[in-house]
Amino acid sequence: MGLALLTLLGGALLLPPGARRPVSDAVVVTAAVLAAVVLARVGRRTCARARGWRLVAAALLTGVVVSASTELLDPAPGSVDPARTAASVLPHLLGAVAVLTLLGRGRLRAGGARLLVENALFCTAAFVLAQLLVVGPLVRELSPGGPARLALEASCLAATLLLGTGLTFVTAAGPARRTTAGVTLAGLAALTVADCLAVVVSTGSFGLLGTASRAVLLLGLVLLVLAATTDPGDAPGTAGGPAPGVGGARKLTQGITLAGQLLPHGVMVVAAVLLLASALFVATPTPAALVAVAVGLLLTGVHRVVVVGDEVRWAGRLGRSEAYFRKVVRASSDAVLVLDEQRVTTWAAPALADPAQAAGRPLVGALLVDRVHPQDVETVRAWLSDPDGPAAALGGLCSFRLPAADGSWRVWEAGVTDLRADAAVGDLVLHCRDVTVRLHAEDELRSLAFTDPVTGLPNRAAHVIALAEELAAAGEVSQVSLLLFEVEGLTAARENVGRDVVDLSLVEIGRRLRATVRGDDLVARVGAEVFAVLAHGEGTEPDRVASRCLSVVEQPVVTPLGLVDLSAAVGLVPLVAGLGSETVLDRAELAVRSARQAGPGSVRRYDPLLGEARDRRERLRADLVGARARGELGLVWQPIVSLTEQQVTGVEALVRWDHPVFGELEPEEFIPVAERAGLVGDLQRWVLHEATLAAAALPEHGAPLRLGINISPVHLASGTVVGDVSTALRATGFPAERLVVEVTGSTALLEDPAISADFAALRLMGVHLALDDFGAESSTLAHLTRLPIDVVKLDRSFLARVDKEVQTRALCASVIGIGGDLGIDVVAEGVETPSQLTVLRTMGCGFAQGFLLSRPLTLPALVACLDAGRGHLWPGQVGRVDAG
């Protein structure tokens, strides 16, 4: 559009002289109106207050209206016309206000006195130039009157004020708007020059100079439109415009800033030179020019005073800022090292430099690798070496030791910032932090986390880590074995002599184990009563180490309160490739369990059969859930025979599990599994109900049969036995006096007051009590007198050699005699040979059960057996009865 208008303007020269001025003015008016429209529309989106560019548009329209009006009133050229000359004053002042509006009050206040003085100096210099180049020649040539002279001076002053606001826009605008401000100033300058030329042209005929003035005016309008359309605006969040720190845009912004600062002084110098030349060679300058020069000289001095004041203030602020940051750096726990290209320390923070200087190893001027601890040299050298590849850079953290004032070493953790490409620094900057205290605290925490507080040995966590390291290095042939010691006797010692003595004993055991094994063998305490040894050696060497360790553990421990006798069970697992820590520990537990079952002082190597047995138990535990619902559980019945009458007087109900994989399982195998799984209560309640229901329908040949049912110690300890028995009796209608509850358990369990209360409640119900498995484990003769027992059942292990050993026979006879004296029935379990049966009858034993008399029978087989002999059962008759 601008090019088309310039073309039209140039074509006006081809018209007759009388038509050139109207055509040129029409082109200029059209351009001014179009520019005003563009400025008004653009101003709505670029200026926060939407007024700046719209006021510029208003100024352009005002200039068009005023100029057109004066042209219509006095179109003929001649002398200086006051109205036509003063027509530009109002648009210029309105334009000045518009440019200041573009900046806003905040920017104007931020410029301070220096901005005001510089712009006043520029306006003064521009006014002098206008006097010398426009006003002076017109005055000398035309000698205008007072009004015309006043109009010239006013127009000149308004033009300089407009240029001054343009310079204010350049110097006070932000970096993003600096280019826009420079274009705006150029446009305003073009408009001002065009006005000056128009004043000169208005005094004569319209020719080439008139066309040039219109062309300059068009150029100014184009520049203003360009400035408005590229203005990023001052609204918050505006991101338009070139970034001040990017390539050519940054250089352009810096150039415009420098030009804006130097322009007032340059224009003033030019004005002074021209004034002197005019005075010497042309004519005496106008009084206004002389006054303006005097004001300009005064403003130059004021400007210098303001600049010096600003420099003093800035120097003071810089000094205070430097002192502030210097103190902050000295007080900071993070210190800084600056290294040049050769990794020589060029500057060090006092926190680093002072201790090194006191230790006689100054940092500044020396290679960093020459001042760190010798063990850290290669680490630091590798860290600071330039990486391969153009995109690679130094980075990461590195810990190294630097000398302290007392000659010790402090540990510093450093990060590196590569500022070699930064012209202001050009070095490597290391940000260091003293981590000595932190590392010491971490060491202490690590010691607490991996050390047993009682013995001072490594704890389980440390043992697992060491075990994992050994497994990672293990091969196909074992070089290291895990020995797991489960100390026995500490519980009794704690009850007898107290916890402090037990702790002393543990410390002594740890010391003995540590003194017995090799130096590279690790001894750890991995449990309250468990020690572990990682013993090195091949073949049977770990077994010999285990035996030596076991011998020192079993030596009495001397304490202030006496001797403490201990023993241990030892599990041994060789470490080979492919095993994990959990697998090894699991195998060690199985081996220790096997050793514990073998007896105190036993050593057992891990055997795959142990794992198979454990897997079988786990399978049984899982399958036991829902076994009753699947119909896998059932009852068998073993007759109890009176040895005097050879008559069946009772039966014992025994539960069986017909497992789909393992076949028929005895209670001795799956009842402990049920106890550990928490299922024994439901199982026993089912047995009570089914057994009493079936026994109620058994045939009677003589006195009604008694029913014996075993009660698990775990079920007994649960406190629900009385309620469970009562519920079963009510549900089945089985007489309480025919039920015999058989109990086993330790001395502590049977003597528990709650258990005794349950026994008394059962007796009050009419239920009989039997002490089962007498003669095994912890049962004693005292139980016969302390407990409300009706029946005592001799364990089969107690009777195994009753027909061959005098001592066993004497013990059995004593129990039978005591039972007879106390009115307690004695039942011999597990009678398997005729000689055993004969000896028992001779001793006066009242009752017996076992394979010799009858194997456990199903309910139909039991009924058939009872009916076949009318309740009579003796060896020789059993074979005629089907056990199925």
**What pLDDT digit, counting tens, does each position of 525-536 carry?**
998 889 999 999
The residue with greater pLDDT, 697 or 143, is 697
Cα 708 to Cα 692: distance, rounded to the nearest angstrom: 10
- Tokens 């039920």 correspond to 739
Q: Are strands 647-659 and 633-642 parallel, antiparallel or unpaired?
A: antiparallel
pLDDT beyond 50 at 559: yes
User: CB of 398 within 8 A of CB of 383?
Assistant: yes
The length of the chain is 884
Q: What's the fold here for domain 618-880? A: TIM Barrel (3.20.20)
**What pLDDT digit, counting tens, does each position of 630-669 carry?**
888 999 999 999 998 899 999 999 999 998 888 888 888 8
Q: How much helix, strand and coil, in percent to the nearest 5, is found in the chain? A: 60, 15, 25
- Tokens 């925490």 correspond to 445
Cα 797 to Cα 500: distance, rounded to the nearest angstrom: 40
The residue with greater pLDDT, 808 or 391, is 808
Domain boundaries, given as residue ranges, for the chain:
2-236+246-306, 332-442, 450-606, 618-880
Q: How confident is the model at residue 245 (pLDDT cuts 50, 70, 90)?
A: very low
Cα 18 to Cα 694: distance, rounded to the nearest angstrom: 141
**What pLDDT digit, counting tens, does each position of 119-152 carry?**
787 788 777 777 777 776 766 666 666 677 787 7
**What pLDDT digit, counting tens, does each position of 297-346 carry?**
787 777 777 777 777 888 888 888 777 766 766 666 578 889 998 999 99
Cα 88 to Cα 32: distance, rounded to the nearest angstrom: 14
Q: Which structure tokens are listed for 308?
A: 């010096």
Cα 856 to Cα 851: distance, rounded to the nearest angstrom: 8
Cα 522 to Cα 435: distance, rounded to the nearest angstrom: 31
CA distances to 748, 817, 848 from 844, in Å: 31, 8, 11
Question: How confident is the model at residue 286, as a pLDDT?
Answer: 73
Q: Which residues make Cβ contacts (< 8 Å) with residue 394, sequence separation at least 6?
A: 383, 384, 386, 387, 416, 418, 428
Q: Are strands 567-575 and 603-605 parallel, antiparallel or unpaired?
A: parallel
Render the burial of 453-484: b for 16+ CB within 10 Å, e for the rest: eebebbbbebbbebbeebbeebeeebebbbbb
**What pLDDT digit, counting tens, does each position of 316-326 carry?**
888 887 777 66
pLDDT beyond 80 at 777: no
pTM equals 0.50
Rounded-to-10 torsion of CA 340, 343, 344, 350:
90
The percent of residues above 90 in pLDDT, for the chain, comes to 22
CATH architecture group of domain 332-442:
2-Layer Sandwich (3.30)
- Lowest mean pLDDT, pick from 220-224, 386-390, 843-847: 386-390
CATH of domain 450-606: 3.30.70.270
The percent of residues above 70 in pLDDT, for the chain, comes to 83
Biggest CA–CA distance in the chain, Å, is: 170
Q: How confident is the model at residue 878 (pLDDT cuts 50, 70, 90)?
A: very low
Q: Exposed, middle or buried, 67 (CB in 10 Å: 0-12/13-18/19+)? A: buried
Q: What is the mean pLDDT of residues 89-102?
A: 82
**What pLDDT digit, counting tens, does each position of 699-712 carry?**
888 788 999 999 98
Render the burial of 800-826: b for 16+ CB within 10 Å, e for the rest: eebbeeeebbebbbebbeebeeeebbb
Mean pLDDT of the chain: 81
User: CB of 602 within 8 A of CB of 570?
Assistant: yes
Question: How confident is the model at residue 532, as a pLDDT?
Answer: 94
Q: Which residues make Cβ contacts (< 8 Å) with residue 596, sequence separation at least 6?
A: 486, 488, 569, 602
**CA nearest 641: which of 473, 456, 874?**
874
CA distances to 83, 219, 384, 853 from 71, in Å: 9, 22, 80, 148
DSSP β-bridge partners for residue 413: 399, 433
Q: What is the mean pLDDT of residues 196-202?
A: 68
Q: How confident is the model at residue 257 (pLDDT cuts 50, 70, 90)?
A: low
Question: How confident is the model at residue 236, as a pLDDT?
Answer: 46
Question: How confident is the model at residue 705, as a pLDDT?
Answer: 92
User: CB of 74 within 8 A of CB of 85?
Assistant: no
Question: How confident is the model at residue 534, as a pLDDT?
Answer: 93
pLDDT beyond 90 at 723: yes
Question: How confident is the model at residue 23, as a pLDDT?
Answer: 64
